[in-house]
């Protein structure tokens, strides 16, 4: 009964002026409970096959209840984006059961689900790092009376996306009825302002939005009451212990699936591999063939074009850096790294051929100096070729870089999905 009343009140806020609607939506947000069971809810990345299956099943159940059609005839909601080692499934677990989930999808050669709905070219042209929030579901009995599990998931997602993945912009497609909720609760902004039907959401009226991760919390603090924002801050801090492991390990590419688990999820359960375009198959081969022998003979990818001629495998990683060029020091961060070079994001304009001196914290408390030339530019993104053989001093940096890459490859090549 309380859930129905709450949903009815949410619907009514759509007809209110913006300021009143925002105030009421934030006031309706229930972030406290007298029950201790919420203290036992664990939030983290899905790392077992059981957790991933439960997550896919929960989303499928939610979509079915919300009358969102899905191509999958089985009990799981799985997309092609879940194939990628840069896609992260976040779960809320209570006594071994998955009770909530969200997926964060990093922009890549696969693009994003939102591309079938809106044009995000302006965001991409900025060269900043974009990720889409998708596959959101919380078990009904855990969202009837309050938003605690949902907010725990959201605050974890924000921290992981910013601190580990280095995301600059979130994008998402919501139902038309939920668009005001994400605007007022999380300060999302419209992408094109159009309400239209989304084919990937059962042809429901939908709306696309984005948020700047650098300003999101500042804007939320301004909009919320002091007491309410302190509660949100409490949720953010509740994940501290989990995030200690990422203080210097900022590896995004993680090869979680064994060959058997990969084929089970993406071939046997719904034939996702068979539906990929040739370019998508090529991209998937480039993601996996360099890094894990277990994927070199995946049958479903054998008809793809030859993989690109890359001398070294690339890994998505997010390390802060300082770049010195023409006596000016600027901040930046890595996008991809390999044994021969890296790509970075930098707000200062560099030209092809520029020489950069890079300071990167390769291990905790250990900053190393490297040298590189700019090979390509795209917005605020730059491709760099490392310099190792210029003189005896610089030759010493080659071993340091390879030690750094050994750490990254070790963290990326998990290659086992626990039962």
Cα atoms found within 13 Å of the Cα of residue 384, Cβ hemisphere only: 32
Sign of the Cα pseudo-torsion (243, 249, 250, 251, in order): negative
User: Distance between CA 161 and CA 59 in Å, rounded?
Assistant: 21
pLDDT digit string, tens, across residues 155-178 = 999 999 999 999 999 999 998 888
269-302 tens-digit pLDDT: 888 888 888 888 888 887 776 554 444 444 445 5
Residue 83 and residue 264: Cα distance in Å, rounded?
A: 11
**What backbone torsions phi and psi does residue 76 show, to the nearest 5 degrees?**
-120, 140
pLDDT tens digits for range 214-252: 999 999 999 999 999 999 999 999 999 999 888 778 889
- The rounded mean pLDDT for the chain is 86
8 A C-beta contact, residue 62 and residue 54 = no
Which has more confidence, 175 or 303? 175
What pLDDT does 40 receive? 94
d(CA 268, CA 149) in angstroms, rounded, equals 32
Q: At 276, phi and psi to the nearest 5?
A: -70, 145
As a whole number, mean pLDDT of residues 105-129 equals: 94
What's the average model confidence in pLDDT over 168-189?
94
Please provide residue 105's backbone torsions phi and psi, each rounded to the nearest 5 degrees. Answer: -110, 115
359-408 pLDDT tens trace: 998 877 789 999 999 999 988 999 999 999 888 888 889 999 999 999 89
Alpha carbon distances (Å) from 281 to 51, 66, 104, 284, 289: 26, 32, 21, 5, 11
pLDDT of residue 297: 41
């Amino acid at each position: 009964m309380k859930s129905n009343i709450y949903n009815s009140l949410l619907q009514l806020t759509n007809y209110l002026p913006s300021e009143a609607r925002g105030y009421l939506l934030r006031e309706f947000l229930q972030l406290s409970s007298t029950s201790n069971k919420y203290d036992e809810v664990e939030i983290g990345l899905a790392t077992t096959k059981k957790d991933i299956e439960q997550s896919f099943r929960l989303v499928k159940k939610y979509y079915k209840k919300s009358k969102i059609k899905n191509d999958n005839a089985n009990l799981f909601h799985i997309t092609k984006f879940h194939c990628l080692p840069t896609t992260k499934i976040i779960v809320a677990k209570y006594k071994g059961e998955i009770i909530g989930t969200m997926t964060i999808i990093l922009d890549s050669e696969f693009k994003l689900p939102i591309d079938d709905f809106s044009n995000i070219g302006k965001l991409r042209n900025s060269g900043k790092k974009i990720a889409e929030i998708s596959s959101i579901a919380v078990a009904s009995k855990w969202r009837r009376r309050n938003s605690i599990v949902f907010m725990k998931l959201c605050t974890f997602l924000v921290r992981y996306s910013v601190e580990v993945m280095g995301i600059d912009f979130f994008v998402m497609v919501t139902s038309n009825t939920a668009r005001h909720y994400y605007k007022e609760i999380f300060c999302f902004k419209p992408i094109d302002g159009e309400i239209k039907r989304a084919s990937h959401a059962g042809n429901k009226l939908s709306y696309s939005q984005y948020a700047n991760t650098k300003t999101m919390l500042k804007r939320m603090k301004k909009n919320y009451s002091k007491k309410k924002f302190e509660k949100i801050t409490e949720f953010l801090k509740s994940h501290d212990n989990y995030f200690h492991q990422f203080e210097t390990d900022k590896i995004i590419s993680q090869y979680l699936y064994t060959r058997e688990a990969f084929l089970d999820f993406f071939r046997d359960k719904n034939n996702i591999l068979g539906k990929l375009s040739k370019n998508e198959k090529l991209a998937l081969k480039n993601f996996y063939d360099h890094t894990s022998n277990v994927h070199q003979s995946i049958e479903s990818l054998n008809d793809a074009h030859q993989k690109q001629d890359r001398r070294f495998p690339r890994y998505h990683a997010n390390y802060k850096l300082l770049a010195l060029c023409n006596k000016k020091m600027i901040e930046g961060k890595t996008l991809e790294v390999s044994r021969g070079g890296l790509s970075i994001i930098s707000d200062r304009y560099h030209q092809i051929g520029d020489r950069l001196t890079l300071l990167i914290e390769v291990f905790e408390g250990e900053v190393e100096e490297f040298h590189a030339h700019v090979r390509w530019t795209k917005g605020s993104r730059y491709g760099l070729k490392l310099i190792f053989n210029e003189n005896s001093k610089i030759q010493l940096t080659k071993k340091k870089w390879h030690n750094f890459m050994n750490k990254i490859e070790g963290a990326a090549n998990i290659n086992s999905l626990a039962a």
